[in-house]
A and B are shown apart, each in its own frame.
Chain A
């Protein structure tokens, strides 16, 4: 699995040009068994990324375009009375899949949003008193437009916490864009992508990542980082214990991807902005260097061992 990490990145890179760091982060998010929030303008390749990721990992893929008139049942599924069988049968919604692309999640009402977010957290769906587990692995890639746009329902902070990472893709650079123009249809290209991982292997990888070692010195550093977010007026909220654990887990996935079975501070730093920014900054406040500053101000080597 480890050996194929670079292959996976390269494979996805064929369709999402010049975005290797973001591909790596999203892969880490997948490996860490967390969900990913991509915040960007339309047409930046969010869908392509989600699609490619699913294809390469050999996972089922569903896409839901959220709109303001959508109801929870449209996501989770609905029980319909089957006259022939004389009983209710459950029609699974699009959430019953391995990779769900929840497009423009902030366009829908809070009710529908929370239904999805609950499913993401619980990894199960309860409809009409019946609890149904979601497939494993289960990976949600939600996208949202920047909140300055009209007619959106911004996700509250408590729900942003459900996403392990928040990234934004941004415009491609000059070279990548030229290549993009020359290349063919991205949908056809995605179909040509090779499947490099099996779902079983992915689950196995997720289990292995939980085994990655974090030494006392590293946990000390993590603690100092977390402590700093709580005592810095730049941040609206301190990092919660859940946020801290998420950071550690993401760092473990990053370490695993770099062929190490132990975490080093650089792993934490690599995932820090994407894991932490949506948890500690007030909604709507962009990350304008605060996280970078945090990273630079916390000493990696503790003073007292």
Chain B
């Protein structure tokens, strides 16, 4: 019997299909040229399998490999994760150029499993997880088809069935292992430099920043409140305080610099913030931002241990948020902060204005201040002024050097950043300490799960002024112009044409889609809370709840018990089937052997006795025949002589015959 080691066309096509599925979601992370190369290689290999195209020469292969390596080096210049994944994918597809034998295909399939793993570095949603599972299924079928050496017409279908059953059988074990296997921290880390985290509120605000944010309906974070959700008017999610203006861009001045490795803690905040009235406890599930600041409602008083408060009363942590993260906060919407006074330094920085910018506004502010007499009156006058004469739009005119002058006198149309920026400028010009606060405003309650979803299009900027005896007071000039923006959401504050610019325009037009999106979002949320977020702490709590105690021996006993139970349940259908048809074990073993033999090309005829059949096999194949003869003899002695026989021996023989089936190329 000759065993063929060459790769079957069928296995190759399965391999190409799985490669296509595996590489597809990684496309977003790969350099564009590598994507094109990958798909070109897959198409080329497919054409080659049809006999249309040719294998490349050795020098061409070397050239391509060198070129790809050089290309990767030029594109990334570092050993960040994206570079590593790209290298892996490059190897994964370049191997196609020298794929000839079955073992090559086997190797590539195994590599496929690894590449599937890298998919999960970029997604943590449930859809991504299921997609990865589909890829695993495809690769496994490839492995089986490849092992069968192509086989007959139904081999793919049979493999698919087998693998599906195997995956389903593995599921309960996966669940148990998920719950009990100790969570070990990562052994090494690769720096992330993916582009996914660059959307979101940034550390500076210049004209146009927000309008691009509003084109995105991506989720920024989700918040789950213990009790009720505060009114929309109270939902000001603070991220950063921007108090330095250079004439065009608002940035943080040093003291509140919330930046990785450059942050400053506000140590005595507890003595400077006074809270009263109702307290809200909530949990935030933050999408990766690649920044280190966190979001919270005003006057956060309690928060997780690794979270700190900045001088702007915003929260931050030391590390970048590079993956989904969960934290809990308690906030009081009624508060006073720094009512006793602010430091000279803070006062100075809150009055800072660039020279030689917006002379008209400065003058106007001074004259209005003189007329109004008090800061409160001045604020009121400014708000009335913009309320009557300004309107809210996402398509403001382009502003020149004296942007605020132009905005206040000429264009008079803009959105939050214009209103907040000009308000703060105006106040500072009038001598009132003021600052810009950026973050999100509002959010949408998910009707399915009852949590609040805050998306990028909810990005917002507002202002705070410092008033004697009142401390920092929030003033939102946008509210004066477009109150519905605050009360109902940004999509209700724009005209029909304007709201088309928002990121989620398409889904708002179709109710069904919106509903579907809510459900999917709720599902994803639960997935994260229950699955992705199951860490060492949760595990410990879970074990204590279930097993009463997290002593290792107890867990071992329980887990063995659960495993035994699962195996018993999995075997139940077999036991049931056995009791249903009274085919004795020996008969079934014999019939199984006959099935394996027929796969080897020896079909027992219906009217052929065991001994005759065995002799026929042994005439053709002596080695195999010896096994079959012994098995038939055992069968015969049991069935016709009514003698006790060694069933394990029979089983062993049947298994040996099965093993030979796997080796055989003829199936």
Shortest 3 CB-CB contacts between residues of A and residues of B: A296-B607, A266-B609, A262-B641
Contact status A305-B607, CB under 8 Å: no
The A/B interface has a contact count, at CB < 8 Å, of 58
Contact status B641-A298, CB under 8 Å: no
Among A213, A263, A305, which residue has the most Cβ atoms of chain B within 10 A? A305
Q: Given the complex, which residues of B lie within 8 Å of A301, measured CB to CB?
A: 587, 590-591
Inter-chain CA distance A269–B608, complex, in Å, is: 9
Q: Does B640 contact A (CB under 8 A)?
A: yes
Q: Does B376 contact A (CB under 8 A)?
A: no
Contact status B607-A304, CB under 8 Å: no
Contact status A299-B606, CB under 8 Å: yes
Contact of B605 among A215, A218, A263, A296 (CB under 8 A): A296
Nearest-neighbor residue (CB-CB) of A301 within chain B:
B587
**Contact (A300, B581) CB under 8 Å given A262-B640, A262-B641, A263-B640:** no
Inter-chain CA distance A269–B103, complex, in Å, is: 48
Q: Does A199 contact B (CB under 8 A)?
A: no
Q: Does B582 contact A (CB under 8 A)?
A: yes
- Nearest CB in chain B: distance from A225 CB, A: 9
Contact status B606-A305, CB under 8 Å: no
**Contact (A264, B583) CB under 8 Å given A269-B609, A296-B606, A300-B606:** no
Q: Given the complex, which residues of B lie within 8 Å of A264, measured CB to CB?
A: 609-611, 636, 640
**Contact (A305, B587) CB under 8 Å given A295-B607, A297-B607, A300-B609:** yes
Among B606, B611, B640, which residue has the most Cβ atoms of chain A within 10 A? B640
Inter-chain CA distance A263–B582, complex, in Å, is: 23
Contact status A300-B608, CB under 8 Å: yes
Q: Given the complex, which residues of A lie within 8 Å of B590, measured CB to CB?
A: 301
Contact status A215-B640, CB under 8 Å: yes
- Nearest CB in chain B: distance from A80 CB, A: 55
Contact of A215 among B581, B606, B607, B641 (CB under 8 A): B641
18 CB-based A-B contacts, threshold 8 Å = A213-B640, A215-B639, A215-B640, A215-B642, A218-B639, A218-B640, A263-B640, A265-B609, A266-B609, A269-B607, A300-B608, A300-B610, A301-B587, A301-B590, A303-B583, A304-B581, A304-B583, A305-B582
Inter-chain CA distance A215–B641, complex, in Å, is: 7
Q: Does A217 contact B (CB under 8 A)?
A: yes
Q: Given the complex, which residues of A lie within 8 Å of B612, measured CB to CB?
A: 266, 269
Q: Could you list 14 further interchain pairs (A-B, Cβ under 8 angstroms) beyond the known A266-B609, A305-B582?
A: A213-B642, A215-B640, A260-B641, A264-B609, A264-B611, A266-B611, A269-B612, A297-B606, A299-B607, A300-B607, A300-B608, A300-B610, A301-B590, A305-B584
Nearest-neighbor residue (CB-CB) of B636 within chain A:
A264
Contact status A305-B636, CB under 8 Å: no
Interface size in chain A (residues, C-beta < 8 A) = 22
Inter-chain CA distance A301–B590, complex, in Å, is: 9
Annotate A215-229 by CB proximity to B: 1 below 8 A, 0 otherwise. Answer: 101100000000000
Q: Given the complex, which residues of B lie within 8 Å of A269, measured CB to CB?
A: 607, 609, 612
Interface residue ranges of A246-305 to B (CB < 8 Å): 260-266, 269, 295-301, 303-305
Inter-chain CA distance A262–B637, complex, in Å, is: 9
- Nearest CB in chain B: distance from A144 CB, A: 30
Nearest-neighbor residue (CB-CB) of A217 within chain B:
B639
Q: Is the interface of A mostly helix, strand, loop or mixed?
A: loop
Q: Given the complex, which residues of A lie within 8 Å of B582, measured CB to CB?
A: 304-305
Q: Given the complex, which residues of B lie within 8 Å of A298, measured CB to CB?
A: 606-607
Interface residue ranges of A148-178 to B (CB < 8 Å): none
Nearest-neighbor residue (CB-CB) of A303 within chain B:
B583
Nearest-neighbor residue (CB-CB) of A263 within chain B:
B640
Q: Given the complex, which residues of A lie within 8 Å of B581, measured CB to CB?
A: 304
Annotate B568-598 by CB proximity to A: 1 below 8 A, 0 otherwise. Answer: 0000000000000111100100110000000
- Nearest CB in chain A: distance from B531 CB, A: 48
- Nearest CB in chain B: distance from A29 CB, A: 21
- Nearest CB in chain B: distance from A251 CB, A: 11
Interface size in chain B (residues, C-beta < 8 A) = 20
Q: Given the complex, which residues of B lie within 8 Å of A265, measured CB to CB?
A: 609-610, 640
Inter-chain CA distance A266–B606, complex, in Å, is: 13
Inter-chain CA distance A263–B637, complex, in Å, is: 10
Q: Given the complex, which residues of B lie within 8 Å of A213, measured CB to CB?
A: 640-642
Nearest-neighbor residue (CB-CB) of B590 within chain A:
A301
Q: Given the complex, which residues of A lie within 8 Å of B610, measured CB to CB?
A: 264-265, 300
- Nearest CB in chain A: distance from B617 CB, A: 15
- Nearest CB in chain A: distance from B6 CB, A: 38
- Nearest CB in chain B: distance from A138 CB, A: 31
Among A261, A300, A303, which residue has the most Cβ atoms of chain B within 10 A? A300
Among B587, B606, B607, which residue has the most Cβ atoms of chain A within 10 A? B607
- Nearest CB in chain A: distance from B637 CB, A: 8
Annotate B610-634 by CB proximity to A: 1 below 8 A, 0 otherwise. Answer: 1110000000000000000000000
Q: Given the complex, which residues of B lie within 8 Å of A300, measured CB to CB?
A: 606-610
Inter-chain CA distance A217–B591, complex, in Å, is: 15
Among A217, A297, A304, which residue has the most Cβ atoms of chain B within 10 A? A217
Inter-chain CA distance A300–B608, complex, in Å, is: 7
- Nearest CB in chain A: distance from B585 CB, A: 10
Annotate A172-214 by CB proximity to B: 1 below 8 A, 0 otherwise. Answer: 0000000000000000000000000000000000000000010
Q: Given the complex, which residues of B lie within 8 Å of A218, measured CB to CB?
A: 639-640
Among A213, A265, A299, which residue has the most Cβ atoms of chain B within 10 A? A265
Inter-chain CA distance A260–B611, complex, in Å, is: 13
Nearest-neighbor residue (CB-CB) of A265 within chain B:
B609
- Nearest CB in chain B: distance from A222 CB, A: 12
Q: Given the complex, which residues of B lie within 8 Å of A260, measured CB to CB?
A: 641
Q: Given the complex, which residues of A lie within 8 Å of B605, measured CB to CB?
A: 296
Inter-chain CA distance A261–B639, complex, in Å, is: 13
Nearest-neighbor residue (CB-CB) of B612 within chain A:
A266
- Nearest CB in chain B: distance from A273 CB, A: 13
Inter-chain CA distance A124–B608, complex, in Å, is: 41
Nearest-neighbor residue (CB-CB) of A255 within chain B:
B640
Nearest-neighbor residue (CB-CB) of A299 within chain B:
B606
Q: Given the complex, which residues of B lie within 8 Å of A299, measured CB to CB?
A: 606-607
Contact status A305-B583, CB under 8 Å: yes
Inter-chain CA distance A297–B607, complex, in Å, is: 6
- Nearest CB in chain A: distance from B655 CB, A: 20
Q: Given the complex, which residues of B lie within 8 Å of A295, measured CB to CB?
A: 607
Q: Given the complex, which residues of A lie within 8 Å of B606, measured CB to CB?
A: 296-300
- Nearest CB in chain A: distance from B480 CB, A: 87
- Nearest CB in chain A: distance from B618 CB, A: 15
- Nearest CB in chain A: distance from B579 CB, A: 13
Among B582, B583, B639, B641, which residue has the most Cβ atoms of chain A within 10 A? B639
Q: Given the complex, which residues of A lie within 8 Å of B642, measured CB to CB?
A: 213, 215, 262
- Nearest CB in chain A: distance from B608 CB, A: 7
- Nearest CB in chain A: distance from B623 CB, A: 23
Contact of A217 among B607, B608, B611, B640 (CB under 8 A): B640
- Nearest CB in chain A: distance from B606 CB, A: 5
- Nearest CB in chain B: distance from A191 CB, A: 39
- Nearest CB in chain A: distance from B577 CB, A: 14
Inter-chain CA distance A305–B582, complex, in Å, is: 6
Q: Given the complex, which residues of B lie within 8 Å of A261, measured CB to CB?
A: 641
- Nearest CB in chain A: distance from B657 CB, A: 17
Inter-chain CA distance A217–B641, complex, in Å, is: 10
Q: Given the complex, which residues of A lie within 8 Å of B639, measured CB to CB?
A: 215, 217-218
Q: Given the complex, which residues of A lie within 8 Å of B608, measured CB to CB?
A: 296, 300
Inter-chain CA distance A262–B610, complex, in Å, is: 15
Inter-chain CA distance A295–B642, complex, in Å, is: 24
Inter-chain CA distance A303–B582, complex, in Å, is: 9
- Nearest CB in chain B: distance from A285 CB, A: 22
Nearest-neighbor residue (CB-CB) of A269 within chain B:
B609
- Nearest CB in chain B: distance from A245 CB, A: 18
- Nearest CB in chain A: distance from B67 CB, A: 64
Among B582, B584, B590, B636, which residue has the most Cβ atoms of chain A within 10 A? B636
